Structures are given as C-alpha cells and as structure tokens.
Amino acid sequence: MASLFDLTKAQLSYYTVPAAMILLYVPHTYAGIKAGKNQDNANPRKTEEHLAKDDSINKVTKSRILRARAAHANGNETIGLYAAAVVAANVAGVEAETVNYLALGYVASRIVYNYIYVIAQDNSRVAPLRSLTWVSGIGIIMTLFVKAGNAAANVRTVRFS
C-alpha cells in the first residue's frame, strides 16, 4: 500500500484522473440531493425552473444548488484537458515526481474550488478566491503540457534504416 503513494512512481498521476472525475460529481450529487423533488431526471435543465417556483427551499440553499450545478459543469469542461495533460507529461517522460506533485495540486485545486464555489461563496466577497483557485488548476494543466513539450523536444528521434 505504501508504494501507491510513492511520488517517484509514474502511476500515481494516472490515478488522479479518476479522482478528478469523482470530484466533479460531488457537487452534482450535492445539488441533486438538495434539489429533492425539483430534480427532474427526465429533463434536468428544468431543475432550475422548478427550483425558482419552490417556496419551501430557502434562498441560500437554492443558490448553493445552482452553484453546485455550475461547479459540476466547470469540472466537465476541464477534465478532458487535465487527463490529456497527465498522459502527455507521462508519455513525454517528464520526471514522475514532478508530474505527481502537479497532478495532486490539480486535485487539491478542484477540492478547494468546489468548496469555495458551492459553500463559501454564500459570501460574495469570496468569489475572487474561486477564480484564483480555478486559474491555479488551469495553470497546472498548462504547466503539464509545457513540461511535456519541453521533455519531448529533448528526446532524440530514432531512425530506422
């Protein structure tokens, strides 16, 4: 079990991809549970309309549900780019420990992003922290791609005659 968390092993960064995928469903699940009868699985885009009409749910909870749905959508928008960056960095031969630290940093940024967006942003003054967290996650993705590009540029091409 200890070898699973050895940051010098390349496979750790690959494990963060399903972890990030699970994290994008945390706010989705939260929104579904909190929306209750307003969650329309046959027509999910109607959930917001149903929420607006429901007076039994307070304004703070409604706002959290809507932000949770937005956090889920944001996770869906970035997961493919993140997965591609992890694969690119590993295939290009970027040092495993570097890729692992960056990958864990991305997962941490998504945890913080979800918390700030859904819960902490009840106070609108926290919104800039959400943006900063999002930018840090995107920065990690771009760093993985740049490191992959740099590593690939340093690899000699083998020619077969």
Pull the structure tokens for residue 27. 């706010």
Residue 31 sits in a domain whose CATH number is 1.20.120.550
pLDDT (tens digit, 9 = 90+) per residue, 94-104? 999 999 999 99
Domain presence at residue 98: yes
Domain presence at residue 127: yes
Domain presence at residue 72: yes
Domain presence at residue 138: yes
The residue ranking higher by pLDDT, 73 or 154, is: 73
Domain presence at residue 22: yes
CB 124 within 8 A of CB 66: no
Number of domains the chain is built from: 1
pLDDT (tens digit, 9 = 90+) per residue, 112-121? 999 999 999 9
- CB neighbour list of residue 97: distance below 8 Å, 6 or more residues apart: 7, 8
The percentage of the chain sitting over the pLDDT mark of 70, rounded to a whole number, equals: 92
Residue 1 has pLDDT above 50, yes or no: no
Q: Which helix (H) or strand (E) holds 112?
A: helix 96-118
> Is 157 in a helix, a strand, or coil?
coil
The residue ranking higher by pLDDT, 10 or 39, is: 39
Of 110, 100, 121, 40, residue with least CA distance to 72: 110
Of 91, 80, 112, 101, residue with least CA distance to 143: 101
Pull the structure tokens for residue 83. 């997965």
- CB neighbour list of residue 80: distance below 8 Å, 6 or more residues apart: none
Average pLDDT of the residues in 60-84: 96
What residues make up the domain containing 71? 7-153
Domain presence at residue 161: no
Domain presence at residue 1: no
When pLDDT is cut at 50, 70 and 90, the band that residue 33 belongs to is: very high
Note the pTM of the prediction, 2 decimals. Answer: 0.88
Residue 159, pLDDT score: 54
Please report where in the chains the tokens 């409604």 appear, as a residue. 62
